[in-house]
Amino acid sequence: MKKILLAVFVVSSAISVSAQCLTDQYHKIAKTLHPNIVQEEQAFNNSIAQISSSKRVTKYIIPVVFHVIHTNGPENISKAQIEDQIRILNQDFSLNNPNKTAIRAPFTSVAADCQIEFRLAQVDPSGNCTDGINRVYSPLHVDARDNVKSITGARWDYRKYLNIWVVSSIQDNSGTGGTTLGYAYLPSAVAGGMGNMDGIVMRSDCMGTIGTGNPTYAGRTLTHEIGHYLGLFHTFEDGCAGTGSSKGDLCADTPPVAGTFTNANCPANGNSCNTDAPDLIDQWENYMDYSQGTCQSMFSNNQKTRMHNVITGYSFRSNLVSAANLIATGVNKSNVVPLAFFSSSARVVCAGDPVYYYDNSCKAQVTSKQWQFVGANISSTNKDTAVVTYSTPGFYKVTLTVTNANGSNTLNIDNYVEVKPRIAPNKPSVSQDFGKADWNTNTGWRILDPTATKLTRDTTTGYRGNNSLYAPISSSVPAGMRFQLVTPQIDMRPLAGKSPKLSLMLAYIRQSATSTEEFRLYYSKGCNYNWTQFIYRGATALAYTSTFSPTFKPNASNQWKQLSFGLNSFEQDSNIAFMIELVSGAGNPIYIDEINIGQYNTDISAVESIKALNIFPNPSEGLLNISYEHNSGETEIWLENLQGQIIDTVLMPTQAEGQVQVQYHKNALIDNGLYILKIRSNNQVINKKVIFAN
Pairing of strands 576-583, 518-525: antiparallel
Residues forming beta bridges with residue 536, ordered by sequence position: 520
Mean pLDDT of all residues in 220-226: 95
Q: Which of 14-28, 145-159, 160-174, 232-246 has the highest mean pLDDT?
A: 145-159
| Residue-averaged pLDDT of the chain | 88
- Higher pLDDT: 249 or 73? It is 249
User: Phi and psi for 207 in degrees, rounded to 5?
Assistant: -95, 115
Q: Which of 11-15, 50-54, 440-444 has the highest mean pLDDT?
A: 440-444
Give CA separation, 529 vs 68, 278, 466, 522, in Å. Answer: 18, 59, 32, 10
Q: Measure the CA–CA gap between 85 and 292, rounded to whole angstroms.
A: 17
Name the band, by pLDDT with cuts 50, 70 and 90, for residue 659: confident
Q: How many helices (H) and strands (E) does the chain have?
A: 9, 33
Mean pLDDT check: name the lowest of 15-24, 396-405, 501-510: 15-24
SS3 323: helix
Q: Measure the CA–CA gap between 662 and 653, rounded to whole angstroms.
A: 7
Q: Do 15 and 264 touch, CB atoms closer than 8 A?
A: yes
pLDDT of residue 13: 32
> pLDDT per residue over 623-635, tens digit each?
999 888 776 666 7
User: Phi and psi for 654 in degrees, rounded to 5?
Assistant: -80, -15
> What amino acid occupies position 36?
N
Of the candidates 478, 468, 682, the residue with the CA atom closest to the CA atom of residue 559: 468
Specify the DSSP class assigned to residue 304: H
Task: Give the burial class of 349: count Cβ atoms within 10 A of its Cβ; 0-12 exposed, 13-18 middle, 19 or more buried.
Answer: buried
- Indicate whether 178 pLDDT > 90: no
SS3 675: strand
Domains of the chain: 7-237+301-325 (3.40.390.10), 342-420 (2.60.40.10), 430-605 (2.60.120.200), 608-692 (2.60.40.3080)
Name the band, by pLDDT with cuts 50, 70 and 90, for residue 604: very low
Burial 256-283 (b: 16+ CB within 10 A, else e): bbbebbbbbebeeeeebbeebeeebbbb
Active-site residue identified among 40, 75, 225, 285: 225
- Indicate whether 3 pLDDT > 90: no
Q: Measure the CA–CA gap between 405 and 337, rounded to whole angstroms.
A: 8
**225 among known catalytic residues:** yes
DSSP 618-674: SSBSSEEEEEEEE-SS-EEEEEE-TTS-EEEE-PPPS--SEEEEEEEE--TTSPSEE
- Indicate whether 469 pLDDT > 90: yes
Helices 79-92 and 220-229: crossing angle, nearest 10°?
Answer: 60
Q: Measure the CA–CA gap between 678 and 689, rounded to whole angstroms.
A: 9
Distance from CA of residue 107 to its chain's centroid? 40
pLDDT of residue 637: 86
- Indicate whether 569 pLDDT > 90: yes
Instruction: Please report how many Cα atoms fall inside a 13 Å half-sphere around the Cα of residue 488, on the Cβ side.
Output: 23
Residues forming beta bridges with residue 117, ordered by sequence position: 61
SS3 383: coil
Q: Do 160 and 325 touch, CB atoms closer than 8 A?
A: yes
- Higher pLDDT: 30 or 185? It is 185
DSSP 406-417: TEEEEEEEEEEE
Residues forming beta bridges with residue 190, ordered by sequence position: none
- Indicate whether 245 pLDDT > 90: no
Q: Do 636 and 652 touch, CB atoms closer than 8 A?
A: yes
Contacts 24+ apart (CB under 8 A), 20-26: 20/174, 20/176, 20/178, 20/260, 21/234, 21/260, 21/290, 22/174, 22/180, 22/183, 23/228, 23/233, 23/234, 23/237, 24/237, 25/174
pLDDT of residue 402: 98
What order do you get walking across the sheet with 646-649 strand by strand?
646-649, 635-640, 673-681, 684-692
Q: Measure the CA–CA gap between 172 and 143, rounded to whole angstroms.
A: 8
pLDDT of residue 479: 86
pLDDT of residue 104: 97
Q: Do 509 and 587 touch, CB atoms closer than 8 A?
A: no
Q: Measure the CA–CA gap between 509 and 521, rounded to whole angstroms.
A: 20
Task: Give the burial class of 550: count Cβ atoms within 10 A of its Cβ; 0-12 exposed, 13-18 middle, 19 or more buried.
Answer: exposed
Q: Do 422 and 516 touch, CB atoms closer than 8 A?
A: no
What residue spans of 498-598 are helical by DSSP H? 539-542
Q: Measure the CA–CA gap between 146 and 479, rounded to whole angstroms.
A: 17
Give CA separation, 105 vs 113, 281, 320, in Å. Answer: 17, 11, 36
Residues forming beta bridges with residue 676, ordered by sequence position: 640, 689
pTM: 0.77
Mean pLDDT of all residues in 184-204: 91
Intra-chain end-to-end CA distance of the chain, in Å = 75
pLDDT of residue 138: 87
Residues forming beta bridges with residue 400, ordered by sequence position: 371, 411
- Indicate whether 643 pLDDT > 70: no
User: Phi and psi for 223 in degrees, rounded to 5?
Assistant: -55, -45
Q: Do 476 and 551 touch, CB atoms closer than 8 A?
A: no
